[in-house]
Structure 1
Amino acid sequence: MQFDVGNSSAKWRLLVAGEVVERGRYQADDAASRSALLDCAPAPQAIWISSVADEKSNQALAAMLRERWGIEPWFAVSEAETLGLHNSYAQPERMGVDRWLAMLGARASHAGRLCVVDAGSALTIDLVGADGVHEGGYIIPGPGLMERALLLDTDRVRFSEAADYRLQPGRSTAEAVRHGIALAQAAAVRQALEVAGEGVSLFLTGGGGSWLHEQLGGHGELVPDLVLDGLQLMAEIRAN
């Protein structure tokens, strides 16, 4: 069983003989999602977790899983090197493990230079050379964080009407805010690709990955389970 734990919820999937047989989303305060998770299997052989949540949340999740199945979960941590992927951080463990695993998953399917984008609460953009060396990355507030920051720090930007995140210029305050955020998100990825130069393959993942893929005109490869795919690769190393 594998988990991709974010700041507000967790994706999970259950594999049998390498094939996904069950999947879902878990929220600690949602009884239905908890029941669906805990009833999905009688006894998984192992539990692997990628988490960017705080330590208290991680401990609560681990305790629940131990109580249900009697298994100690394994939490992935970013490393200096994994399967030929080299971390650029002086302290590798300080890199968000979701970024590390997404790069690992993308590199397993493509041998050239990569731009790996994870669109969640934050928008992360990471560049990887063909030699497996992490060239650096960017961390940008996601749409929700951008909107809250704007509304918190400006007195005259207020709206109550609904508006989608789109790229065309807005014709109301609501549209101007949300369309501006959409423009910033898409433009950040385009600018990162321009900085990277030619010959870079784009991979997108995360809760907002599908939306961002659409805003980019379908450019790049959308892989919703990229973090979990990287987690599986990393966990298999430990198992062997």
Structure 2
Amino acid sequence: MSATRLLIDVGNTRLKWALVRDRQMTETGAALHDGEPARAVAALPAATVDAVWMAHVTGDAHEAALCEAVRLRFCVNPQLARSATEWRGLRNAYREPQRLGVDRWLAMVAAWHARRGAACVVDAGTALTADVIAADGAHRGGLIAAGLETQQRAVLGATRFATRAAGAPYRGGLGDDTESCVRQGAMLACLGAIDRARALAGADAACLLTGGDAGTLRAHLAAGWEMRPQLVLEGLRAVSEND
């Protein structure tokens, strides 16, 4: 009987998971954690697993509670993924490699694992991140910006605009009232950052897009972007299997 592994990716707002059997992710899911990621462990599937691999960006304050919650639920000590100096030819650009967010590192691992070549990897969530990998595996660096919702909250929180509830969809152009102008400002800022990262990556780079807002942004980007909703978990799977 093949071993079953549980992969857990704890982001700023969501906990995502996947079950791996026979080296394939057979089930996936996600749950909001509202700043209490250890409590969200209760939303994970009630499965018998042989190993648990976890990556999180919630800091030391939550790590012990997350590990204890996993131990209590699955009777397994989780293996924690960390950003590394190198992984099978992929080389971290940070002078202090451990300071690179593990979600960014795992997304790059997934890109490099799938295609040993140049890539632009974008994760559109609470933060918008982009990382560029050269054809030889050198991480050329990246960027971190506010995500769609984060930008809008920042603008509205720092101004005295009289705004109404905003429920209209994002568009590719300009707004025609205060709410849509704030919304479109955030949208075009994210699109501009993504376009600039892609240009820096070069014409031959694979372009991979993940994160909660990936679908919204993809609709307004040029052709060539590949949606990979489980990219961080794909990287965690590769690291857990030492592929």
Mapped contact 1:164–1:179 kept (Cα < 8 A)? no
Q: Which residue of structure 1 lines up, in the alignment, with residue 76 of structure 2? A: 71
| Distance apart, 1:28 and its partner CA | 4.3
**Superposed, which structure 2 residues align to 1:91-130 within 5 Å?**
91-130=96-135
| Distance apart, 1:156 and its partner CA | 2.8
Q: Which residue of structure 2 lines up, in the alignment, with residue 134 of structure 1? A: 139
**Matched residue of 2:44: which SS?**
helix
Which letter maps to 1:18?
Answer: R
| Distance apart, 1:38 and its partner CA | 4.5
Distance 1:48 1:166, change over 3 A: same
1:87 aligns with 2:92: yes
Q: Which residue of structure 2 lines up, in the alignment, with residue 208 of structure 1? A: 213
Distance 1:51 1:34, change over 3 A: closer
Q: What's the CA shift string for 1:58-113, capped at 9, x where partnerless?
A: 32221111112211111111000011110111110000001011011011112221
1:223 aligns with 2:228: yes
Query: Any gaps of 5 or more consecutive residues in structure 2?
Result: 1-5
1:154 aligns with 2:159: yes
1:19 aligns with 2:24: yes
Mapped contact 1:88–1:134 kept (Cα < 8 A)? yes
State the 4+ residue runs in structure 1 displaced beyond 4 angstroms: 32-36
CA distance in 2, matches of 1:157, 1:195: 39
**Matched residue of 2:83: which SS?**
coil
CA distance in 2, matches of 1:184, 1:78: 28
Q: Which residue of structure 1 lines up, in the alignment, with residue 173 of structure 2? A: 168
CA distance in 1, matches of 2:33, 2:194: 32
Q: What's the CA shift string for 1:118-150, capped at 9, x where partnerless?
A: 111111010001110000101010011101110
CA distance in 2, matches of 1:34, 1:76: 17
Q: Which residue of structure 1 lines up, in the alignment, with residue 44 of structure 2? A: 37
Distance 1:59 1:28, change over 3 A: farther
Mapped contact 1:38–1:68 kept (Cα < 8 A)? no
Mapped contact 1:112–1:130 kept (Cα < 8 A)? yes
Which range is displaced more, 89-98 or 13-22? 13-22
CA distance in 2, matches of 1:44, 1:122: 32
| Distance apart, 1:36 and its partner CA | 4.5
Q: Which residue of structure 2 lines up, in the alignment, with residue 185 of structure 1? A: 190
Q: What's the CA shift string for 1:2-43, capped at 9, x where partnerless?
A: 01110112000111212223222234469x97554152x1x2
CA distance in 1, matches of 2:123, 2:236: 15
How many residues of Structure 1 are paired with residues of Structure 2 in the alignment? 235
Which letter maps to 2:18?
Answer: R
**Matched residue of 1:215: which SS?**
coil
**Matched residue of 2:130: which SS?**
strand
Mapped contact 2:41–2:70 kept (Cα < 8 A)? no
Which range is displaced more, 51-60 or 66-75? 51-60
Aligned CA-pair RMSD:
2.0
Mapped contact 2:118–2:201 kept (Cα < 8 A)? no
| TM-score, normalization by structure 2 | 0.89
1:49 aligns with 2:49: no
| Distance apart, 1:197 and its partner CA | 3.1
